[in-house]
Structure 1
Amino acid sequence: MKKPISITGIYSISPLGESLHESWSSYQNDNHCFSEKGKVLVAKLPEATKDALERLRQSDSKYKGLDDTTLFAIYTSRKAILHAQWKSTDNYGINIGSSRGATQLFEEHHEAFLKTGKAKPLTSPNSTLGNISSWVAHDLQTKGPEISHSITCSSALHAMLNGIAWIQSGMCNKFLVGGSEAPLTNFTIAQMQALKIYNKNKSSKYPCKALDFDKKQNSMILGEGASVACLENNSEKALANIIGVGYATEILEHNASLSTNADCFQRSMKMALGAVKPEEIDVIVTHTPGTLKGDLAEFNAIKKMFCNKIPLLTTNKWKIGHTLGASGMLNIEMAILMLKHQQFISMPYLDNTPTKHIKKVLVNAVGFGGNAVSILLSK
């Protein structure tokens, strides 16, 4: 990187709650956030957050027809810029990614079309992916560039890469970046089940065994949420500084799998470290979604990269599930919390020796198609 980029504000809604304070509090216990939806487990937003989102929906007649993914993004973006003390006159850019986009709304409109043979008014644009950032820009009354994209489960970290590129190019001074996902629909869950990666063991004390290499079956569970961060040039009010970025794409062996040693992660982590020595990394927040092959492939890549000096490894998916396109930014939040509190966030079913000092944290994300991103954060 040419120079560090500062994260000056971040706000998330997830099964952990909302805000850094609530998320940190939730990380202090060993309880997962899963509950039943029909015959499967999912991780839902808390009722208090749902109530706040409904108030947002009812606050403007134009918002009543929006998908939850868009509402999540509007809500978290409002809170994030307050955290960073930005104003609409700052003329910042917006890039919010999503793996699925307007999932629920699209499914509802398609079902209505099959029944009537007609599409309802505003089916498009309200169900398009680009609708997310454009509505956030409308709500915040900013006039900077607005971008939405889907790079599957690495969408949020690709948004961060894009925001960094805009700032370092001099085309923008600030960028609002993140991911939003509302995937808890029957059809989306069915798609994950069709891939045979969804959890089937609801009775387990910890149903999603992310990073547990002794598990005998896939254990991924879907969660919903959004997370948005404010990026600026090197700032004294930084929550954390981005000191390295890496990205890579590998040749597909299968539509939904990584290579055995996750070649894309090896390259993205190496690029993110740059001149930083591997032994300087204290913690890696892994992508590890709780699948047999996905978890092991990322670990193999870490072993190749770090050899006998593997940093502490952690993930939040055992607790909140896989939030798809939002997951990478929720990993960033987790890293910021560890840097702030100087406390490692562990998993209750794995033994980890906490490190005394946490100075550098590497965050990973990858999506279907082998689109890996690694972000290196420091205090």
Structure 2
Amino acid sequence: MKFPSAYVLISCTTLTAAFAPIVTRTSISSTSLSMAIGDARRVVVTGMGITSCLGNTLEDVTKSLHECASGLDYDPEWAELGIKSNVRGKPSLSDADFKELIPKADLRFMGKNAQYAYVAMQRAVEDSRMKPEEYQENPRVCAILGQGGTSIPDIVETVDAVKGGGRWKNKVGPFRVTRSMGSTVSAVLATAFKIQGMSFSISSACSTGAHCIGTGYEQILLNKADVAFCGAGENVDWDFTSMFDCMGALSTSYNDNPKKASRAFDKNRDGFCIAGGGGVVVLEELEHAKARGARIYAELVGYGANSDGYDMVAPSGVGGERCMELAMADADSHSGARPVEYINTHGTSTPVGDLAELGAIKRLFERKGYQPNVGSTKSLSGHALGAAGVHEAIYTILMMNNDFMAESANIEELVDEAEGMNILTKRKDGPFKRAMSNSFGFGGTNCALVFDKYEE
């Protein structure tokens, strides 16, 4: 039965007032009721941890962004294997480091993606200054942590062992399932950190980490959690890289100059540079954070998610445009209307993707009457796939806290399509109050997050 819009509005308003005590304790499907809940609760970032080619501490990452220091390097093994793209961004963590940083009882269940995420989560917990009794065995604390791909080395080693015959079960061992299953990151981290609220993995290609953050934000707004550990982990190795190489998606023209290979919005870009690592942000309900005296990095005020419904690998641009508009509308409703001063784009350095995203930004902000500052931190970090969204959320928050917008590196000849836009060909120093981070993935899955500088 179709009701007039005015009737729906009155009904939702009436229900919100009548059932306010229930709304604060239960999940309501109505968008209007959900927004009513969200109006009463604010979500802030109180901790961050990262493992990336730009650094494994917040201080090192901030320095890399500020000084425009690329984390990309040449990998000779990939060249020997015949992979055309030999540039990658790999965190400086060895197997020996992981053995030192992760308890053996936990490490045995982890593929490399989970190992990167574990170190990031441990550092996020430490950064949040949260005591074990505040987050462990607490049903109001959740963990939404994903990965774009799986632990391919564990699958390859299992297949090789079985095909090799003999006593192959001894070679495979009992831990391969947990290392390679699609939910390995959330499963092993929730277990290791004794999380007792909701815990699951999201795997949405290159939007994974951002979707995990957005979903955690929603759980806090809906009063299903007070704290959410959100992020992702992604391995970087020749196996997954070879698949992208066969697609022609990777940069191949700058193997002899890897620091220049990732060049979003430059006319001579020729594909993305693959990377890996992990990242975790601690989201917390504002009053909960204030009650324990938490340091607050930023406020998460907007989240948009949708699909292109267009093509498996080529973005439409229209979907990304709508996604950004959704996130901005959400931010305006929660924190008041104000301009987005900086966009950390998905900006992968591919010929098609960069132009689609620039077109989306240009069209959207022409309607808004201004053009924000636009850059791509992937020009320094490469593309960490499932971990990219959380990496770039962290990069954006670090820049906001340190009053600068990083240079979008390696733009020697800006694409014509960027005419009239404020592309950051140089670092821009100075404070800014609102920023957006975009993450778009194969299958047309889009995510945009809006952060505000925290104000009482």
Q: TM-score, normalised by structure 1?
A: 0.91
Q: 2:225 aligns with which of 165, 172, 187?
A: 172
Report the Cα offset of residue 78 of structure 1. 1.4
CA RMSD, Structure 1 to Structure 2 (Å): 2.2
Q: What is the rounded CA distance, in whole Å, between the counterparts of 2:195 and 2:158 in structure 1?
A: 30
Q: 2:408 aligns with which of 344, 347, 364?
A: 347
Q: What is the rounded CA distance, in whole Å, between the counterparts of 2:192 and 2:381 in structure 1?
A: 28
Aligned to 1:212: 265
Q: Does structure 1 retain, via aligned residues, the 8 Å contact 2:404–2:427?
A: no
Q: 1:265 aligns with which of 320, 334, 344?
A: 320
Residues 156-305 of structure 1: pairs in structure 2 closer than 5 A: 156-184=209-237, 186-201=238-253, 202-204=255-257, 206-215=259-268, 217-234=269-286, 235-236=289-290, 237-253=295-311, 255-259=312-316, 262-274=317-329, 276=332, 280-305=339-364
Tell me which protein shows more helix as a share of its residues.
2
Q: Does structure 1 retain, via aligned residues, the 8 Å contact 2:405–2:427?
A: no
Q: 1:362 aligns with which of 436, 449, 456?
A: 436
* Alpha carbons of structure 1 residues 150 and 356: separation in structure 2 relative to 1, 3 Å: same
Q: Does structure 2 retain, via aligned residues, the 8 Å contact 1:208–1:317?
A: no
* Alpha carbons of structure 1 residues 84 and 305: separation in structure 2 relative to 1, 3 Å: same
Q: Does structure 2 retain, via aligned residues, the 8 Å contact 1:176–1:231?
A: yes
* Structure 1 gap segments, 5+ residues each: none
Q: What is the rounded CA distance, in whole Å, between the counterparts of 1:305 and 1:106 in structure 2?
A: 44
Q: Deviations 1:86-120 (Å, cap 9, x if unpaired)?
A: 24443211111110022322232233233339562
Q: 2:185 aligns with which of 111, 132, 136?
A: 132
- Corresponding residue SS for 2:197: coil
* Structure 2 gap segments, 5+ residues each: 1-34, 80-85, 412-424
Q: What is the rounded CA distance, in whole Å, between the counterparts of 2:346 and 2:165 in structure 1?
A: 42
- Corresponding residue SS for 2:233: strand
Q: Does structure 2 retain, via aligned residues, the 8 Å contact 1:15–1:320?
A: yes
What code does the residue aligned with 2:321 have? Q
Q: Does structure 1 retain, via aligned residues, the 8 Å contact 2:47–2:281?
A: yes
Report the Cα offset of residue 315 of structure 1. 1.6
Q: Does structure 1 retain, via aligned residues, the 8 Å contact 2:43–2:284?
A: yes
Aligned to 1:54: 99
Aligned to 1:333: 394
> Does 369-378 or 38-47 show the bigger shift?
38-47
* Alpha carbons of structure 1 residues 331 and 50: separation in structure 2 relative to 1, 3 Å: farther
Percent of pairs with identical residues: 20
Q: What is the rounded CA distance, in whole Å, between the counterparts of 2:448 and 2:89 in structure 1?
A: 25
Q: What is the rounded CA distance, in whole Å, between the counterparts of 1:101 and 1:78 in structure 2?
A: 21
Q: Deviations 1:146-169 (Å, cap 9, x if unpaired)?
A: 111211110011111211121122
Aligned to 2:59: 21
Q: TM-score, normalised by structure 2?
A: 0.77
What code does the residue aligned with 1:43 have? G
Q: What is the rounded CA distance, in whole Å, between the counterparts of 2:217 and 2:338 in structure 1?
A: 26
Report the Cα offset of residue 279 of structure 1. 7.0
Q: Does structure 1 retain, via aligned residues, the 8 Å contact 2:262–2:382?
A: no
* Alpha carbons of structure 1 residues 243 and 41: separation in structure 2 relative to 1, 3 Å: same
* Alpha carbons of structure 1 residues 140 and 190: separation in structure 2 relative to 1, 3 Å: same
Aligned to 1:30: 68
Q: Does structure 1 retain, via aligned residues, the 8 Å contact 2:325–2:364?
A: yes
Q: Deviations 1:194-226 (Å, cap 9, x if unpaired)?
A: 1101111213464334422412x5231111110
